[in-house]
Structure 1
Amino acid sequence: MPGTGPSNALPLVVVPGMLCDAGLWSDVVFPEGHPVRHVGLTRPDIGAMAEDLLSRVSGPFVAVGLSLGAIVAFEALRRAPERFRGLCVMSTNAGAPRPEQYAAWRAADELIADGRFADVVEQTLPGMFAGPPGGSAERYRRMAHAVGPGTARAQLAAQASRREATGALRTARCPAVVLSGERDALCPPEFHRAIARAVPGAELREVAGAGHLLPWQRPSAVSAALADLLARVRETPCRTPVGVKPPTPTA
């Protein structure tokens, strides 16, 4: 029967982007039969965030991440590739930080330290959407202010601690889907093409007319991608990741 089989209980470990919380995924329909475990991004280091992801569940899982959340999933993959049974990433970048990004993060941190967190939220808002955000602007402001200035500063520090992830992506041996907004100004389609090339067998889906916050702008596309990914997970035998020694059989 559909939905049965050994992967049916696999948890989905879901990680939002910077200045986002679990509300980012509220419009997405997650596949039935899979517990959803949300991870908050509150630590000032990518490695610590990756450990939070890995400790959210025991055993194997499917990782779902947007932007910074996907970068955290890349680091978790570097540390524990054998636990990944599926990977869905979107609106992200596997490259190392660029000099202009370091400068922008420092400037944002200084504004927050000076009590101007609202200014930082307003500065980030245009990059979240393709075209005028309309009513979504206030929704984004509410979510960002719920995250708050303290967590935002930790996320900025974590951004600066990340590293190039292409090598880690090449170790993946699980079904993967990479989603890209056609009009994402922060993480354009070429970033996602590079990710899809690095992950063996990854499927690349470019979402027409969409910007950075795909779960809000195109929730149906995200929902469909997750459903198709889990179908592939059910059909794919577990493979030992590159560089990971298979477990020794026991009597």
Structure 2
Amino acid sequence: MSAPARKTVPRPLPLVVVPGMLCDESLWSEVVFPEGHEVHHLSLTKPDIGALAEDLLSVVSGPFALVGLSLGAIVGFEALRRAPERIAGLCVMSTNAGAPRPEQYASWRGLDALIAAGRFDEAVEQTLPGMFALPAPPRGQASRYRDMAHRVGREAARAQLAAQATRTDALGALGDARCPGVVLHGTRDALCPPRFHRDVARALPDARLRAVPGAGHLLPWERPEAVSEAVRDLLDRTGAARPVPSSATPPAA
């Protein structure tokens, strides 16, 4: 007799988590990701959105859920354009799917010039006001942001600025999504205001828009509980599992 077919066991969907500019893995330190899911963090170190999207798609094999903030979400949009079948869930926050505006190009060139001239601290200070809800960052968060930016470092920062300039309008590609989505934003995000997120939520076929009152750009620090809840919501809607072969093979009869 032939051997019975191998059984399959469910495995929680892996998460690929991508931070924004001048941010590292510590951005997510207070977010509670659901137990049992492999969590993979991607660092943004290449000067091209397409190359970063390929890095993202190579983190795991097969389907995964993506959690991205700001530039990390923009990289996710490009990954979705290239391989919509790979992304089983999409949680994006503090972001913009539109093409860069002239004033953004000018700002990125100015920041890059400062860093190239050895004035990295000054460049970081210029980005600081946009990171938190005005009028001032929560206590201790400004120094925490500066420390994180310095861990990212000058070379990665310049690569991220160059990558920003290779962005294109992603709104059209979002309609190809085959997965549920959650779009999260702070109502006082000066860099990526609510209307950017309404556009993303409208473009995605199956998205829930979540506003976080009074919060700014760095939601995982300002409101980690809201981010944790959004990720749980997303995974609940994906079914949160996919079949994989069991490691045990029944003996032949």
1:68 to 64, 68, 71: 71
Deviations 1:213-234 (A, max 9, x none): 0000000000011111111111
User: Aligned partners of 2:122 and 2:174: how far apart in 1?
Assistant: 35
- 1:245 corresponds in structure 2 to none
Aligned sequence identity (%): 72
Does residue 152 of the first structure (1) align with residue 157 of the second (2)?
Answer: yes
Equivalent residue for 2:59, pick from 56, 60, 64: 56
**In structure 2, distance between residues paired with 1:216 and 1:61:** 24
1: CA distance, partners of 2:21 / 2:143: 17
Aligned to 1:243: none
Scaled by the length of structure 2, the TM-score of the pair is 0.90
For the 8 Å contact 2:90–2:179, the answer to whether it is kept is yes
- Tell me the distance in 2 between the aligned counterparts of 1:152 and 1:17: 11
For the residues of structure 1 that align with 2:51 and 2:240, how far apart are their CA atoms? 33
1:225 is aligned, of 225, 230, 243, to 230
The alignment partner of 2:169 has SS state of: coil
Taking the aligned partners of 1:63 and 1:235, their CA distance within structure 2 comes to 13
User: Does the Cα contact within 8 Å between 2:44 and 2:160 map onto a contact in 1?
Assistant: yes
Aligned to 1:138: 143
The reply to whether residue 118 of structure 1 matches residue 121 of structure 2 is yes
When the two chains are superposed, the root-mean-square deviation of aligned CA atoms in Å is 1.3
Structure with greater strand share of residues: 2
Cα deviations across residues 181-230 of structure 1 (Å, max 9, x unaligned)? Answer: 00000000000000000000200000001000000000000001111111
What letter matches 1:124 in structure 2? T
CA contact (8 A) 2:90 2:182 kept: yes
Is residue 19 of structure 2 the alignment partner of residue 16 of structure 1?
yes
Task: Give the greater-gyration-radius structure (CA).
Answer: 2
Task: Give the CA deviation at 1:33.
Answer: 1.4
**After the TM superposition, which parts of structure 1 deviate over 3 Å for at least 4 consecutive aligned residues?**
none
Shift in CA distance, 213/92, structure 1 to aligned 2, threshold 3 Å: same
| Aligned-partner Cα distance in 1 for 2:156–2:74 | 17
Is the 8 Å Cα contact of residues 63 and 87 (structure 1) preserved in structure 2?
A: yes
Amino acid at match of 2:29: S
CA contact (8 A) 2:13 2:240 kept: no
State the SS of the aligned residue for 1:29: coil
> Which residue identity is paired with 1:18?
M
**Residue ranges of structure 1 left out of the alignment (5+ in a row):** 238-251
Q: Say whether 1:199 aligns with 2:198.
A: no
Map of 2:168 onto structure 1: 163
Amino acid at match of 1:25: W
Q: How many residues were matched structurally?
A: 232
Question: Within 5 A, what are the aligned runs for 1:35-50?
Answer: 35-50=38-53
Which structure 2 residue ranges, 5 or more long, are not aligned? 1-8, 243-253
Match of 2:88 among 85, 89, 92: 85
Residues of 2 paired with 1:182 and 1:9: CA distance? 32
Whose RCO is larger (CA < 8 A, sep 6+)?
Answer: 2
Whether contact under 8 Å (2:20, 2:69) holds in the other structure is yes
Q: Which residue of 2 aligns with 1:25?
A: 28
Equivalents in 1 of 2:14, 2:240: separation in Å?
17
What's the CA shift for 1:168?
Answer: 1.1
Q: Which amino acid aligns with 1:28?
A: V
The normalised TM-score by structure 1 is 0.90
Cα drift, residue 157 of structure 1: 0.3
